[in-house]
Amino acid sequence: MPSSADPSANTLELVALTKRYSDTVAAVDNINLRIPANHYCCLLGPSGCGKSSTLRMIAGHETVTSGDVLLGGRNITDATAAERGTAMMFQSYALFPHLTTLDNVAFSLKMRGVSKAERHQRASALLERVAMTEYAQRKPSELSGGQQQRVALARALIMEPRVLLLDEPLSALDPFLRIQMRSELRRWQKELGLTFIHVTHSQEEAMALADTIVVMSRGRIEQSGSPGEVFNKPVSEFVARFMGGHNVLDTPGGRIAVRSDRMQVVAHDDEAGLPATLVDMEYQGSYGLLSLDVPQASKTPLSVMLPEASYVGRRFTLGQPYRVAWSEQDVHRLPLVSRIANIET
Ligand code: ADP
Ligand code: MG
């Protein structure tokens, strides 16, 4: 890997980046983002919000309608995919089935006319790095899912990128392997000292991996920040709902978000909070989950998560009146119109 003395060499900036596939709505709508060097950044959002389009424009696999992509201060908007210092890690099933592990990793060097001796030497060094040396002569079908994923990583790293781009890299794996590969990705990113930009629609995956989560909706950046910031201080109803774990309530003071595990359920004749009816409850082992209708504040039932001891000890009754309450310090105010920025343009 090129170990640049200047850490800002791996900083990626998107300036007013826009993608229109036709003259209707923009798939990526004027986004501005600065990803610090050697960060693990997750682009998070629902299907169709523009994550892959953004990633492909960074990779040089998609033309930019307007705006710029800068890497280490250099404008790479019009550079070819091969010359911009980024590489895309494709899903493991995109490996060439007829090539060995070694030849899969060396493939793009072959395309560039690098001699056989040199490309095998460089590919072997990378296989060692991802602990795959003993599988160098196997074909992809003779490898496990996790091993294929490591080959896919080595194949992307052979071009010595400064920024590694990953589009839903774990989505084809079974749940167990997904969690295992997630921690491997995180470890590789730290070891390699590269900027990773990882697209996912899973808030759990983004929370587990990212230094910075960029929440996208309808081609725009809704919020970016550390996992803790985005989870605890959602700036909009969209982020609060998408990140999960929050209730969104309409109160006389405005629209607010309160974490489900910070709400309390109190007796119906208590003075605190709002009247509620218990409509569902589930025992989940370490906690109990209550659903309560609170017509004054929400059209949909609110969720309250209680630690096991208080859930089991209280013996709640379905259909009965209670009140839901919360502390002022756990309130996050949301703008009344959460998409003001989008409505203006
Ligand atoms: P995501 O990766 O978040 O699911 P995409 O970037 O793939 O979102 O897509 C964003 C929007 O752009 C969607 O409405 C999608 O249908 C549209 N889109 C994506 N790729 C193309 C394309 N090649 N041609 C036309 N429309 C596209
Ligand atoms: Mg996508």
Q: What is the CATH number of domain 7-232?
A: 3.40.50.300
Query: What's the maximum distance between 2 C-alpha atoms anywhere in the chain?
Result: 81
Which amino acid residue places its CA nearest to atom 10 of ligand 1?
50
Measure CA 72 to chain center.
23
- pLDDT score, position 343: 38
CA 338–ligand 1 middle distance (angstroms): 23
Q: Does domain 250-333 have CATH number 2.40.50.140?
A: yes
Task: Tell me which ligand sits closest to the C-alpha of residue 54.
Answer: 1
Query: In whole angstroms, what is the distance from residue 1 CA to residue 106 CA?
Result: 15
Q: Which pLDDT score, from 0 to 100, does residue 344 have?
A: 36
What is residue 307's predicted lDDT score, i.e. its pLDDT? Answer: 95
pLDDT per residue as tens, the chain (345 positions): 444 456 677 899 999 999 999 988 899 999 999 999 999 999 999 999 999 999 999 999 999 999 999 999 999 999 999 899 999 998 777 899 999 999 999 998 998 899 999 999 999 999 998 899 999 999 999 999 889 999 999 999 998 999 999 999 988 888 888 998 899 999 999 998 999 999 999 999 999 999 999 999 999 999 999 999 999 999 999 999 999 889 999 998 899 999 999 999 999 999 999 999 999 999 999 999 999 999 999 999 999 999 999 999 999 999 999 999 999 999 999 976 544 444 333
pLDDT at 7: 61
> Which pLDDT score is estimated for 112?
87
Report the candidate in 274, 250, 268 with the shortest Cα–Cα distance to residue 325.
274
Whether 44 and 201 have beta carbons less than 8 Å apart is answered as: yes
Residue 22 sits at φ, ψ, to 5 deg, of: -150, -175
Task: With CA atoms as reference, report the closest residue to 215 among 233, 194, 238, 183.
Answer: 238
pLDDT value of residue 251: 92
Q: Within 13 Å and on the Cβ side, how many CA atoms surround 195?
A: 24
Q: 19 C-alpha vs ligand 1 centroid, how far in Å?
A: 10
Sheet of 12-19: strands edge to edge?
A: 28-35, 12-19, 66-71, 74-75
Task: Give the model's pLDDT for residue 133.
Answer: 96
Q: Is 21's C-beta closer than 6 angstroms to any atom of ligand 1?
A: yes
Phi, psi of 241, rounded to the nearest 5 degrees: -70, -40
Task: Name the residue of 14, 18, 20, 21 whose CB sits within 8 Å of the most ligand 1 atoms, as the mutation to test its pocket.
Answer: 21
Relative to the alpha carbon of 216, which ligand is closest?
A: 1
CA of 117 to the centre of ligand 1 (A): 41
DSSP sequence for 43-96: EE-STTSSHHHHHHHHHTSS--SEEEEEETTEE-TTS-GGGSSEEEE--GGGS-
Q: Are 7-232 and 250-333 equal in CATH topology?
A: no
CA of 59 to the centre of ligand 2 (A): 14
Q: What is the pLDDT of residue 173?
A: 83
Q: Which residue has the least CA distance to atom 26 on ligand 1?
A: 21
Rg (CA), the chain: 24
CA torsion 186→228→179→261, rounded to 10°? 170
**Other residues' Cβ atoms within 10 Å of the Cβ of residue 12:** 24
Half-sphere exposure of 78 (CA within 13 A, CB side): 1
pTM of the model: 0.88
Q: Show Cβ contacts of residue 224 under 8 Å, excluding neighbours closer than 6 positions.
A: 33, 212, 213, 214, 215, 230
SS3 track for 162-186: CEEEEECCCCCCCHHHHHHHHHHHH
Which ligand lies nearest the alpha carbon of 46? 1
Phi, psi of 28 (to 5 degrees): -130, 125
- What burial letters (b/e) apply to 72-103, b meaning 16+ CB within 10 Å? beeebbeeeeeebbbbbbebbeebeeebbbbb
Which ligand 1 atom sits closest to the C-alpha of 43? 3
Ligand nearest the Cα of residue 166 is: 2
The phi, psi pair for 231, rounded to 5°, reads -75, -45
Domain ranges of the chain: 7-232, 250-333
Task: Indicate if ligand 1 lies below 6 Å from the C-beta of 48.
Answer: yes
CA distances for 53 relative to 27, 39, 63, 235, 282, angstroms? 7, 20, 10, 24, 40
Atom of ligand 1 nearest to the CA of 201: 3
Atom 7 of ligand 1 has which residue's CA nearest to it? Answer: 52
What DSSP string describes 4-43? Answer: -S-GGGG-EEEEEEEE-SSSSS-SEEEEEEEE-TT-EEEE
Q: By C-alpha distance, which of 108, 63, 103 is closest to 88?
A: 108
Q: What is the DSSP letter of 337?
A: S
Token couple for 77? 């908007």
Query: 222 near 236, Cβ under 8 Å?
Result: yes
Ligand 2 (ion): residues with CB under 5 Å are 52
What is the three-class DSSP state of 301? Answer: coil
